[in-house]
Chain A
Amino acid sequence: MIDLAHVQKTFGSNTVLRDVSLTIPKGTSMVIIGGSGTGKSVLLKCILGLVTPDAGVISLDGQDVTTADRDAFLARFGMLFQGAALFDSLPVWQNVAFRLLRGSLQRPRAEAREIAIEKLRRVGLKPDVADRLPAELSGGMQKRVGLARAIAAEPEIIFFDEPTTGLDPIMAGVINDLIREIVTEMGATAMTITHDMSSVRAIADNVAMLHDGVIQWTGPVAQMDHSGDPYVDQFISGRATGPIEAVR
């Protein structure tokens, strides 16, 4: 279980997270929605330790993440970045097997390659992609490789940062379905940040809306359309008028 209590983060004079409290139960898929620039990515990076919160406590299974052993903590995570963040200088299979080629999870090279190819298959890519460089792949294929890398070490928790940004609707649907299938079959805890409502409906068990530095509403995805929250209503209907300013 991931628990955030009163998390705050300010950059210069810009307060991004004012007071964020949120619980993500083990084995569930939480999707954080909210407009651009509302701090969704910052929130995710705070959990991973890529950004240090100014105040508040983030705990994983009851243990404060700032006091946990860093390597052991990160070994439990997989992450799909918005732009896939593949390493340009490494072929696809070495990107996927990155964690398996070094560190505490290191495997023999041949075994790591086999696992990488198996994970590539799992995300719908053929084995001949394995030896290509990331720059030779389309955006959709890069996202799939990023997804394969996120699940390569069988993590307990997977984060997805804007998984469908920049993809056409069909490829976005493919990625959404893959994420849902993988999270379900692995029994992983998932946290996704997005403003793509089709992703929300495909991936989420629970939804939280981040706006103005706080969680405005959270609940099961089935209740999202009848939340009664004006912020959520405006966001999911895509209206320019409402409590959320259209010009930010």
Chain B
Amino acid sequence: MSALAPIGAIGRGTLAAMSSVGRVTLFALSALAHMIRPPFYPRELAVALLNIGWLSLPVVGLTAIFTGAALALQIYSGGARFNAEAVVPQIVAIGMVRELGPVLVGLMIAARVTSSIAAEIATMKVTEQIDALVTLSTHPMKYLVAPRVLAALLVVPLLVGIGDIIGIFGGYAVATGSLGFNAAAYLKNTVDFLEPLDVISSLVKGCAFGGIAALMGCYFGMQSGRGAQGVGRATKGSVEAAAVLILAANFLLTGAFFSL
């Protein structure tokens, strides 16, 4: 084996990674272009809004309420070490709105929606339904991708907002129910402590994470290989990519909003 072989392997890996980034970027730009150019498919958009938004509410709500409740317990017990139990409302609010709400909703959407989109589109590809769309004069990017990505961009921020509220309510329920907090004071502290930028950052993160989740589902679905294995690989790859990109985007957006 040549001494340069490891360098060659690193080079090939780098080129493959850059090539993937390029393909995903071109795919995203194409999806955006199809979103703003007619024809539009309002029925497909409505179905996507229902699937991504309304039908995700139960999982988002349950995730948020348990996280908010656990967060309240953790802050209360951790704060007791330095007599800071009283900060539970503020930390639950800031933790849920700035960080946990958007990230957990994003990851739940990646698990629920990205996998579903990737499996559906990959199956359509394997069974020639995508080819059938083309022969019926319908562009797959316009009919399948644009409505799903647009729906996610519109509806995931709403889900994040709802998740934030439910998460705060989870903390409120535990704090007032078993930790002895006064209900009115808890709510006042929560509202007083939150700033508009906290809420704006949460909603912007929701929009970004929704876009990533839907885009990865569509991309991996459209790139799927043949057969059941191809569908399985597309689904697994889409969820992995969406989860990692959501966490990376969260770091970048948090830095952009709060590091200055």
Contacts and interface: CB of A to CB of B under 8 A. Distances in A.
B128 A85 contact: yes
B128 A103 contact: no
Given A85-B127, A102-B41, A103-B39, A79 B137 contact: no
A104 B137 CA distance: 9
B46 interface: no
Interface string A77-110: 1110111011111000000001100111100000
A202 interface: no
A49 B135 CA distance: 9
Contacts of A74: 134-137
B41 A85 contact: no
A75 B131 contact: no
A48 B136 CA distance: 11
Contacts of B39: 102-103
Contacts of B47: 89
A128 interface: no
A53 B160 CA distance: 47
A45 B131 contact: yes
A50 interface: yes
B41 A87 contact: no
Contacts of B127: 83, 85
Interface in A17-75: 45, 48-50, 70-71, 74-75
A87 B137 contact: no
Contact of B135 (A77, A87, A89, A105): A77
A75 B136 CA distance: 7
Contacts of A75: 137
A87 B129 contact: yes
Interface residues of B, number: 15
Contacts of B124: 87-88
Nearest to A48: B135
Contacts of B135: 48, 50, 74, 77-79
A87 B128 CA distance: 10
B134 A85 contact: no
Interface string B39-53: 101000001000000
B136 A81 contact: no
A239 B37 CA distance: 55
Contacts of A99: 136-137
Contacts of B123: 88
Interface of A: 45, 48-50, 70-71, 74-75, 77-79, 81-83, 85-89, 98-99, 102-105, 149
29 contacts: A45-B131, A48-B134, A48-B135, A49-B134, A50-B131, A50-B134, A50-B135, A74-B134, A74-B135, A74-B137, A77-B135, A79-B132, A79-B135, A81-B128, A81-B131, A83-B127, A83-B128, A85-B129, A87-B129, A88-B123, A88-B124, A88-B129, A98-B138, A99-B136, A99-B137, A103-B137, A103-B138, A104-B137, A149-B136
Given A49-B134, A85-B128, A103-B39, 11 more contacts: A48-B134, A70-B137, A71-B137, A74-B135, A81-B131, A85-B127, A85-B132, A87-B132, A98-B136, A102-B41, A105-B137
